[in-house]
Chains A and B, each alone.
Chain A
Amino acid sequence: MQHTKDKYGETGGSLIVKEEMESARHFMETALRLGASQARISLSKSVLDSFSVLNGELDKVTHAADRSIYMYIFAEGRYGTFSTNMTDADKAEDFVSKAIETVKMLAPDPHRRLPDPARTAKDAQTGREAGLYDEEYGNVTSEERLAAALSGALMCGEDKRKGGLTGALVPGKDRQADRNGAETGMPAGDNWKMISEECEYSDSVDDNYTIDSQGFAGRHTETSFAFCSEVTIADKDGNRFSGYWWESSPFRSGLDLKDCSVAALRKAVSQIGPKRHRSGKYSMVVDRSVSSRLVSPLFSALNAMAIQQKNSFLDGSLGQKIFPEGMTIMDLARCCGRPGSRLFDTEGVATADAPVILDGVVKEYFVNTYMASKTGFAPTIEGVSRPVLMPFIQGGSSTGTGLVSEEKEVSLQDILHRCGSGIYVCGFNGGNCNQTTGDFSYGIEGFAFKDGKITHPVREMVITGNMISLWNSLLAAGSDARACTRWQIPTLAFEGVDFSA
Chain B
Amino acid sequence: MKFSDLLRLSINNLKRRKLRTFLTVLGVIIGTASIVVMVSLGIGQAALQTESIESYASLTTIDVWQGSTMGDGSSEEQNYITDDVLKTFERIPHVTGTSPVLRTNVIAKQGVYEANLQLQGVSNEYLEQIEVGEGRLPLDEKKLEFLYGNTVIRDFMNSKTGDGYYSTGEEADVDLMGKAVFIIFDTSAYYQSQMPQSASQGSDAGQSSTKPPKKYIVPTAGIVKGSPDEWNQYSYSTYCNVDALKSQLKAIYRKEPIPGQPTDKKGKPLDYFVYDNASVYVDDMDNVKAVQDTIASMGFQANSNMEWVEQNKKTMQIQQAVLGGIGAVSLLVAAIGIANTMMMSIYERTKEIGVMKVLGCDMRNIRDMFLIESGFIGLMGGTAGITISYLVSFIINKLYIRNQIMNGYIMAGADTPGNISRIPVWLIIMALIFAVAIGMLAGFFPSRRAMKLSPLSAIRNE
Pairing of A with B: no
